[in-house]
Amino acid sequence: MAQEAAEPAANDDAEVRRPDFEEVDPPHDSRRHAIIIVGLPGDRPHQEQFGALVGHWSRWLSRGLGVPPANLSVLSATPLNNVARPLAADAPSVVARLQQLVADLQEDDSLWILFLGHANYDGQRALFHLPGPDLSAQEYGELLRPLRCREQVVWLTMGSSGWFLRPLSREGRVVIAATLTDAEPNETEFPHALADAMQRDPVDLDGNQDQQVSLMEFLQFVVSRIKERYESDERAPTEHAQLDDDGNGRGTEVEELAKRSDVEEETPETQSLDGRLASRLILPLNVIQSTEVEVGDSEPNDQTSGSQRPAPDVGSQSRESS
């Protein structure tokens, strides 16, 4: 329980901080790693949209999750206006980077993988769209099968992402897909809702008010924002996010998990219940003021302290503009 705050000295205008969460950037953790894979945007508006989203995601991964800039990679099919030097995102480059991570990461490490782009299912394979040959869900599954780090979180934010869930499923891994497997190929609101959640004060994300934020709570907030986006436009939802974290390859809709109160119970009936691992994975979140990290800011502030810190340099190779 938090201790009672001492009376403020002299200055009545001094800001009173919440005792639950510190409003400072968390220390970087050398064991944390993240990779954002950005596929073909399809057109200029989507390219600009992807750049805004990736700039925001990478900023949160560093400032919110504590991933050191050297451990944060962005692979992109096209140049991005919010990323200084993204790596190439053709199939050979993606394969090489994932193979390197699998070889380098140890059991005590953490890896978050975020996909942004477009995908489809052709009746036989699910494909994530890249320049040149695409990589299939099965190929991603094989690439990541040997990954042995303690924390593995995969975010599949695109339409038709439900088809990727089973190939990527593995014991000890959290796989989040924006859509169900069948008949949800449309562009999703998921990446935008994810960016919105990244802007929020952790107090808003702490659903059970236990002064910490689990991955499950974070995901449930994302899904609530997706629902709000559809309702505000009076649209019928065309995406239903699902989670698999028990390694059986069968996802459960996140909205269904939100209705269950026993996701952390260890009983014979719930030993394979999705949501248990995500509920126990606690995020090292601190406050990031939404007014300071608006999605769409193309020019990060050049100061390097506090909330003014610019987006990290997330690559080591430059790409020629197409």
Q: Tens-digit pLDDT profile for the chain (322 aa)? A: 333 333 333 433 333 333 334 445 667 899 999 999 999 999 999 999 999 999 999 999 999 999 999 999 999 999 998 787 889 999 999 999 999 999 999 999 999 999 999 999 999 999 999 999 999 999 999 999 999 999 999 999 999 999 999 999 999 999 999 999 988 999 999 999 999 999 999 999 998 888 899 999 999 999 999 999 999 999 999 999 999 999 999 999 999 987 775 555 555 555 558 999 999 999 997 544 443 333 333 333 333 333 333 333 344 333 333 3
Q: How many residues does the chain have?
A: 322
Instruction: Name the amino acid, one letter, at 282.
Output: I
Structure tokens at 285: 């979140």
Q: What pLDDT score does 297 carry?
A: 36
Q: What pLDDT score does 265 carry?
A: 55
Nearest alpha carbon to residue 238 among 175, 165, 189: 189
> Model pTM greater than 0.85?
no
Task: Tell me the CATH architecture of domain 32-292.
Answer: 3-Layer(aba) Sandwich (3.40)
Domain ranges of the chain: 32-292
Q: What pLDDT score does 50 carry?
A: 97
Q: What pLDDT score does 269 carry?
A: 55
Q: What pLDDT score does 231 carry?
A: 96
Sheet with 252-253, strands from edge to edge, namely: 87-88, 72-76, 32-38, 110-116, 151-156, 173-177, 242-244, 252-253
Q: What pLDDT score does 276 carry?
A: 94
- Using CA atoms, how far apart are residues 241 and 254, in angstroms rounded to an integer? 6
Instruction: Name the amino acid, one letter, at 39.
Output: G
Q: What pLDDT score does 299 carry?
A: 36
Q: What pLDDT score does 184 carry?
A: 96
- Using CA atoms, how far apart are residues 83 and 64, in angstroms rounded to an integer? 18
Q: Torsion angle of alpha carbons 288, 240, 48, 320, nearest 10°?
A: 100
37, 3 contact by CB (below 8 A): no
- Using CA atoms, how far apart are residues 80 and 117, in angstroms rounded to an integer? 13
Q: What pLDDT score does 197 carry?
A: 96
Q: What pLDDT score does 28 carry?
A: 87
Instruction: Name the amino acid, one letter, at 51.
Output: G
Q: What pLDDT score does 99 carry?
A: 98
Three-class secondary structure assignment of the chain:
CCCCCCCCCCCCCCCCCCCCCCCCCCCCCCCEEEEEEECCCCCHHHHHHHHHHHHHHHHHHHHCCCCCHHHEEEEECCCCCCCCCCEECCHHHHHHHHHHHHHHCCCCCEEEEEEECCEEECCCCEEECCCCCCEEHHHHHHHHCCCCCCEEEEEECCCCCHHHHHHHCCCCEEEEECCCCCCCCCCCCHHHHHHHHHHCCHHHHCCCCCCCEEHHHHHHHHHHHHHHHHHHCCCCCCCCCEEECCCCCCCEEHHHHHCCCCCCCCCCCCCCCCCHHHHHCEECCCCCCHHHCCCCCCCCCCCCCHHHCCCCCCCCCCCCCC
